[in-house]
Chains A and B, each alone.
Chain A
Amino acid sequence: RKEVEQDPGPFNVPEGATVAFNCTYSNSASQSFFWYRQDCRKEPKLLMSVYSSGNEDGRFTAQLNRASQYISLLIRDSKLSDSATYLCVVISMDSNYQLIWGAGTKLIIKP
């Protein structure tokens, strides 16, 4: 089983809709979780950290479910500019605190 798994998509979503996707991780000792956004052929950019209590930043909400070992990202009122690949990143002590990257979920927002 891969350490970090994501549905590659693409998710084709109309502008203004709400979209959510998950990321599962295999290592129960994972400690830190992040969502990065990557535009085509550009560098990954931190979107948000994921806290145990869940966190919200504008239209974006991230949640952590430790029991089921997944994190989620919810995007409300999606914009055309949200089109990107969303990368899940997990850090655990077992991996010497290296970032373990998911392969990403591609999101396409259509007008």
Chain B
Amino acid sequence: EPEVTQTPSHQVTQMGQEVILRCVPISNHLYFYWYRQILGQKVEFLVSFYNNEISEKSEIFDDQFSVERPDGSNFTLKIRSTKLEDSAMYFCASSEAEQFNSPLHFGNGTRLTVT
């Protein structure tokens, strides 16, 4: 079964550094998402991406964050100047159609630790 893959599985970075989290969505999917989950808390929506542009973003997704689909396969989340509170699991997801019509498939996540 096709999978969403994320790399790295664990990223440790110092406060103030930039990190790029990488995702390869399922190949025939058109909608891409980033979510995060702080340990012990609920899953939080960050951003959705369709047709090479952001379609929706949450309040969490401020100027510190950006997404990019640099080629036909990768979907990246960049966090500039990381803060301690950015430590969380970051999940990439993709879907064939809009999310109310099509289930999301999640990657295994990247655990980001900011020290």
Q: List the interface of chain A (C-beta within 8 A of B).
A: 31-32, 34, 41-46, 49, 87, 91, 96-99, 101-104
Q: A43-B109, A96-B56 are in contact. Are A102 and B103 (CB under 8 A)?
A: no
Q: CB of B108 within 8 A of chain A?
A: yes
Q: Give CA–CA (A49, B103) in the complex, Å.
A: 8
CA distance A98 to B93 in the complex (A): 13
**Can you name 10 extra interface pairs (CB under 8 A) apart from A42-B109, A96-B56?**
A43-B89, A43-B91, A43-B107, A43-B109, A46-B105, A91-B100, A98-B56, A99-B99, A99-B104, A102-B42
Report the minimum CB–CB distance from B26 to chain A (whole Å). Answer: 13
CB distance from B9 to the nearest CB of A (A): 11
Task: Return chain A residues, CB-CB under 8 Å to B43.
Answer: 44, 87, 101
Given A42-B109, A45-B106, CB of A103 within 8 Å of CB of B42: yes
